[in-house]
A and B are shown apart, each in its own frame.
Chain A
């Protein structure tokens, strides 16, 4: 398996633009997680899905952020409109059928909003 795949790897956009980050989890994994990593705040869980259903989105910063998982092999994280404070590295991770299983992380998307 190729592991968790994220695209794009780097994104530079201007404030106010819409940004869409994409993730393909490992085949067979039931859980999918979206994280944000910054120097100031460390690693934050934004939202996670179980069997394509959002379970907890309490970490989503505000209504500008939304996430979907239309099927077991694809998820998106959208920011609209983007702001400079959204600049961070966004990670997607997936795991097997329990929260006690280890998570496999993608390489991340480095987002810069100018």
Chain B
């Protein structure tokens, strides 16, 4: 069965500093990997995805993620964090004919 792990419940970073939100996955076939963001009292919003091709994927709001097959990771990164990036971030994976499996989420807090 496919699964996603987000090892950190909470990540704190100072505004202007780089941020990383970690994600590792486990699938039996080729993974399709996603990042979503959830702001308070809102639904999840798609940020970026990896299907195939370049391992570095660029998405909305200056976010990017790197697919690392050997480490089965898909960490989310941003060079310079903004206070407005504070939200709940979800990593998710699809493989084969099974729908998205979400991680438990990581709460990002960017401090001014």
Residues of A within 8 A of B (CB): 4, 33, 42-43, 45, 48, 56, 91, 93, 99-100, 102-108
Contact = CB atoms under 8 A, between A and B. Distances in A.
B43 A45 contact: no
Contacts of A99: 32, 94, 97-100
Interface string B37-64: 0000111111001010000000000000
Contacts of B105: 42-43
A105 B97 contact: no
B89 interface: no
A105 B43 contact: yes
Contacts, number: 47
Q: Looking at chain B, what size class is its interface with the partner chain?
A: 20 to 34
B99 A91 contact: no
Contacts of A33: 99-100
A45 B46 CA distance: 17
Contacts of A106: 43
B102 interface: yes
- Of the candidates B41, B43, B98, B102, the one having the most CB atoms from chain A within 10 angstroms of its own CB is B43
A100 B49 CA distance: 9
Nearest to B90: A43
